[in-house]
Structure 1
Amino acid sequence: MPIDAVKALAAEERTTDITWDHKDVQLYHLGIGAGIPATDPAELRYTLESRLHVLPSFATVAGAGMAMMGGLAAPGIDVDLAHVLHGGQTIELHRPIPVKGAARTTARVAAVYDKVKAAVVVLRTEAVDADGPLWTSDAQVFIRGEGGFGGERGPSGRLPDPGRAPDRTVDRPIREDQALLYRLSGDWNPLHADPAFAARAGFDRPILHGLCSYGMALKAVVDTLLDGDVSRVTRYTTRFAGVVFPGETLRVRMWREHGRVRVEAVAVERGEAPALADTVVDHT
């Protein structure tokens, strides 16, 4: 069987030493659409090394961001990448990410859930540097056709409707070449660049990385409701509810709640097709 849940959960943690500096941070920020307008002081915090701060979602690509792809090669997991979609992502920040850093990451399969028609594998990565814990990242990977093995279905992360109009709504255009730029931060899945591979996966053209939309939405929240202060974010979680294509517009809706912001993101040009759902930014 392609997925052996018992074997995957029992596998040893994989430890990797990673480093990053301002160039990695700047490339990531450009990959999620920062720098427009290029001379805007608010954007220079994402693009100019002398003013740089680090958006917390950078944790998903630090050290080339290969924890998720490496996790899919863990013992007990043998799947076709064409059947793999990123189902959800959670990052817990233990403190702000430095512009330049070195950390040791440990990665393991934290859970395997049986959704009958698919399996969901939760890949957990923890990063620690010389000063202690930096972040904990959980990637929920949806693997079509690999369910039905008799495992637990897992928890539901669905949230009730906010029941009111959003407090803020912003539109973020996605460039035609955005996926090509974003993948330079480490996610080389051909689904985001190769039309033939995308067709094999059931799409008429390459799709944008879910984690690119994830970063775009967080930046919108930080810039709009958190006074541009990335250090206020303590946790960020989402469910990838649908795909986004390069060239579309990401509409981000935000609801203020006590100590958190509820978020929804949709693709404007396809009738506001869902992109990010059940999304929450916890903050101080």
Structure 2
Amino acid sequence: MPIDAAKALAAEPRTGEIRWSAKDVQLYHLGIGAGANPDKDSPATDPDELRYTLESRLHVLPSFATVAGAGSPGVISGLSMPGIDVDLAKVLHGGQTLRIHRPIPAEGTATATGRIAAVYDKGKAAVLVMRTEVADAEGPLWTNDAQIFVRGEGGWGGDRGPSARLDPPAGEPDRAVERPLRADQALLYRLSGDHNPLHADPEFAKLAGFDKPILHGLCTYGITLKAVVDTLLGGDVTRVRSYATRFAGVVYPGETLRIRMWREDGRVRVEVGAVDRAGAPVLTDTVVEHS
């Protein structure tokens, strides 16, 4: 069996130094649509977007943590851990959970420690939980958990793991916004470090079962968090405490996302759909906890 759960869980963590600069942060923000002006009749950039794009005002959206230091040790690195030998074309990003311990600085050097935190048997697929903990000289910065589905690798009788499904939000959303995507959104976003050919190479995308390259799930993840921060949190990135989602469907560059938000006590529930495909679900079971 390509996945040996016991061996993967017992493997020594991988630790390495990561660095990022203000330029890396700006590139990430541009990759998730910062600076875009939805008003096509106005040539000027929205002044509020300068907090994401101008170095003298730069605030770091917490989802930058998923790519800081080029995401190392990240998903691709995790798939080469002891006990794991899988076909990249069978790999899908199933979900992401991010816990922020304190605001992320615009420039930094930190130590990232990555390990396989769990391996679940879903029958027709295996799920790997890849945990990355990052700390600098002042202490913990963030913890990332990536839930990775590997199709065709389940069925060995292992633990199925917890259910991530939540009851749907009640009533009409408090806010709903639409975010159009660039045709080259995936090509721009991949410059932040995720070079999986699924998002750029049409031939590889076909091998993986898609008509054309799809957008990175973590790009949609960042776009969505930015919408929540800008719409309901007053543009204050430091209010985000944690952010979790389940990737429910694919997104194609050039589509438009509809992001619906419900206020709850200390958190925002979010559902994201593809406008171009009758609101087909993209992100679900999505929660942003905040101060």
Give the whole-Å Cα distance in 1 for the aligned partners of 2:259 and 2:49: 18
Give the whole-Å Cα distance in 2 for the aligned partners of 1:41 and 1:131: 32
Residue among 21, 40, 45 paired with 1:39:
45
1:217 equivalent in alignment to 2:224: yes
1:158 is displaced (CA, Å) by: 0.7
Query: What are the residue-to-residue correspondences of 1:66-85 with 2, within 5 Å?
Result: 66=72, 67-85=74-92
Q: TM-score, normalised by structure 1?
A: 0.99
1:61 equivalent in alignment to 2:70: no
Q: TM-score, normalised by structure 2?
A: 0.97
1:39 is displaced (CA, Å) by: 2.3
1:103 equivalent in alignment to 2:110: yes
Given residue 238 of structure 1, which amino acid in structure 2 is its aligned partner? T
1:202 equivalent in alignment to 2:209: yes
Give the whole-Å Cα distance in 1 for the aligned partners of 2:109 and 2:90: 33
Given residue 61 of structure 2, which amino acid in structure 1 is its aligned partner? L
Moved more, 238-247 or 58-67: 58-67
Give the whole-Å Cα distance in 2 for the aligned partners of 1:192 and 1:39: 28
Given residue 268 of structure 1, which amino acid in structure 2 is its aligned partner? V
SS at match of 1:187: coil
1:232 equivalent in alignment to 2:234: no
Given residue 122 of structure 2, which amino acid in structure 1 is its aligned partner? K
Give the whole-Å Cα distance in 2 for the aligned partners of 1:242 and 1:36: 24
TM-align CA RMSD: 0.6
SS at match of 2:238: helix
SS at match of 1:150: coil
Which residue is equivalent to 1:243?
250
Which residue is equivalent to 1:276?
283
SS at match of 1:244: coil
1:226 is displaced (CA, Å) by: 0.1
Given residue 179 of structure 1, which amino acid in structure 2 is its aligned partner? A
Matched residues, number: 284
Which residue is equivalent to 1:49?
55
Give the whole-Å Cα distance in 1 for the aligned partners of 2:134 and 2:55: 23
Give the whole-Å Cα distance in 1 for the aligned partners of 2:115 and 2:165: 25
Which residue is equivalent to 2:267?
260
Deviating runs (4+, > 6 A) in structure 1?
none
Q: Which runs of no fewer than 5 residues in structure 1 stay unpaired?
A: none
1:58 is displaced (CA, Å) by: 0.2
Give the whole-Å Cα distance in 2 for the aligned partners of 1:173 and 1:209: 15
Residue among 175, 190, 199 paired with 1:192:
199
What do the CA deviations read for 1:9-31 (whole angstroms, capped 9, x no partner)?
00000001000010000000000
1:102 is displaced (CA, Å) by: 0.5
Q: Percent identity?
A: 74
1:150 is displaced (CA, Å) by: 1.1
SS at match of 2:51: helix
What do the CA deviations read for 1:139-163 (whole angstroms, capped 9, x no partner)?
0000000000111000001110112
Q: Which runs of no fewer than 5 residues in structure 2 stay unpaired?
A: 38-43
1:40 is displaced (CA, Å) by: 1.4
Moved more, 220-229 or 153-162: 153-162
Give the whole-Å Cα distance in 2 for the aligned partners of 1:116 and 1:41: 50
SS at match of 2:95: strand
